[in-house]
Amino acid sequence: MRAFGIDIGGTGIKGAPVDLDTGKLAADRKKIATPRPATPEAVTDVVRELAGSFPQSGEVIGATFPGVVISGTIRSAANVDKTWIGTNAAALFGKAIGTDVAMLNDADAAGVAEMTFGAGKGERGTVLMLTFGTGIGSALFTGGLLVPNTEFGHIEIHGHDAETRASEHAKELHDLSWGKWAGHVHEYLQHMEGLISPDLIIVGGGVSKQSDKWVPLLTGIRARVVPAAMLNDAGIVGAAMTAVPAGSGS
């Protein structure tokens, strides 16, 4: 069975059809830069364009959002325009595309994909998925079940949101070496261990493609720390999975 996934981030918006039996993209993904400002109207135009780029992908569509999503409505918007707050994104996108759209938090989508097809497959303990990009997204699982909308990137360390020091954007903004940035990530992971004591930490986002340069530097973390197996495609796959209710046949 196939569905179409759209992953909305603070920097880029990506989309592709997904084979839900394998968790693989069924065609090369298309990426468009996130508009500035990233208003509902501007982002909806991009979502419409992405969906129209794959006319044979089917009518089942799921989309992510970098913030808290409750019943399709956006409740927080740290790295996009604040006019999103209170917007029913599912209805907005559905009207633009002409079909129902299922919505969830972007890191939750990546986590769902990794727990089903990637680094978290078969893990029954407490698993924390972290995506390092424009900010830090988080997805928490216990016994294989998702605890949605955790948004742990906004936990304060030294009086500031953790993502202002440990996101990929922070690394680029302050021109940090891998060692210096990994030190910030290490401090953040230690803080998270003190809060939830995960058995496994999966690190994803665009920077996961270079995990060999920084994950080995995260010594002293009790939990196992592993890179996301699906790299930066996990959000697209998780979005597509959300469009199909669990247990649906092919």
Report all structural domains of the chain as residue ranges with CATH numbers, in order of start.
Answer: 2-108+234-242 (3.30.420.40), 121-229 (3.30.420.40)
- Given a contact cutoff of 8 angstroms between Cβ atoms, the answer to whether 225 and 216 are in contact is no
Please state, in angstroms and rounded to a whole number, the distance separating the CA atoms of residues 8 and 5: 10
Indicate the pairing of strand 61-65 with strand 101-105. parallel
pLDDT at 114: 98
Cα dist from 139 to 54, 72, 98, 158, 205, whole Å: 29, 18, 30, 23, 12
pTM, rounded to two decimals? 0.94
For 187, what's the count of Cα atoms within 13 Å in the CB-facing half-sphere? 16
Q: Say which range, 37-46, 49-58, 138-147, 167-176, has the weakest mean pLDDT.
A: 49-58
CA–CA dist 198, 215 (Å, integer): 17
Cis-peptide, bond into residue 148, ω within 30° of zero: no
Is residue 247 pLDDT above 70, yes or no? no
Residues 104-154 pLDDT 10s: 999 999 999 999 999 999 999 999 999 999 999 999 999 999 999 999 999
